[in-house]
Structure formats: structure tokens, C-alpha cells
Structure 1
Amino acid sequence: MIDKELLEILACPACKAEVVLDEPASRIVCTACGRRYPVRDGIPVMLIDEAEAGPPAKK
């Protein structure tokens, strides 16, 4: 779905923390603040306005 190298360089735009992929939900989840960013057509939408709140992801 998303290239591993791309995922390694992505960071949460809100808090700059590491993110992980939640492939079943098509979301990228911040490990610190828990924001969930959608993935549309294989492209992560890393906009704070597009994010949903949630619990932080486990690494």
C-alpha cells in the first residue's frame, strides 16, 4: 500500500512524532498524539485538518 521508505520519513505534522501504518483502516497513526491521517489511493493525506483524533498507536 505505502512504500516502507516513505513511511520511515513521514512524521506527524502536528507533533512531529513517528507514525505507523494501520493498513486495515487505511490510516497512518501518530505514536504520540494519536491523530489518524487517511490514506487515499495509496497516498497519505498528512494534513492536520484531515486527521481524526484517537489514542496513540503502539510502535
Structure 2
Amino acid sequence: MDARLLDILVCPICKGPLEHDKKAQELICKADKLAYPIRDGIPIMWADQARDLQVTPGTN
């Protein structure tokens, strides 16, 4: 992902900074505990597409 793009992208919910997780191909918002996917090099910045980092896989 282009570093210049990372500099201007913010969380669409809180407008806070995002961290790039290269291995998972996600942009992480620590404030909202959400991970936005990057698909084919394109960040998907829709809240309904974000993965909730507070939910433990396999639990409800």
C-alpha cells in the first residue's frame, strides 16, 4: 500500500489514524477496535465491511 495514501486515510467512524497490518492486509483503527480489509490493493473503508477486533473468533 502506498505510504502517501496511508498518510491521508482515516477511520471513517472516528476520523482517527489507521495502522497498516501488512500480513493481514488490513487497516486497523485502535480507537474503534476495527480492521478494514484491503482487497486487491484497495482499502475497503465501509464500516459494515470492517472486522470487529473485540470479538474473539468462535464466540458469540
TM-score over 0.5 (shorter chain): yes
Greater helix fraction, Structure 1 or Structure 2? 1
Equivalent residue for 1:4? Answer: 3
TM-score by length of 2: 0.84
Q: 1:17 and 1:7 mapped to 2: Cα distance? A: 12
Name the TM-score, length of structure 1 as normaliser.
0.85
How do residues 1-59 of structure 1 correspond to structure 2 at under 5 angstroms? 2-54=1-53
Structure number with the bigger relative contact order (C-alpha 8 A, sep ≥ 6) is 1
Secondary structure at 1:5 match in 2: helix
| CA distance in structure 2 between the aligned counterparts of 1:41 and 1:21, rounded to whole angstroms | 15
For structure 2, which runs of at least 5 residues remain unmatched after alignment?
A: 55-60
Could you list the runs of 5+ residues in structure 1 that have no partner in the other structure?
none
The structure with the largest alpha-carbon Rg is 2
Identity %: 43
The 2-side partners of 1:13 and 1:37 are apart by: 10
* Local SS of the residue matching 2:23: helix
Runs of 4+ in 1 over 2 A off after TM superposition: none
CA distance in 2 between counterparts of 1:34 and 1:18 reads 12
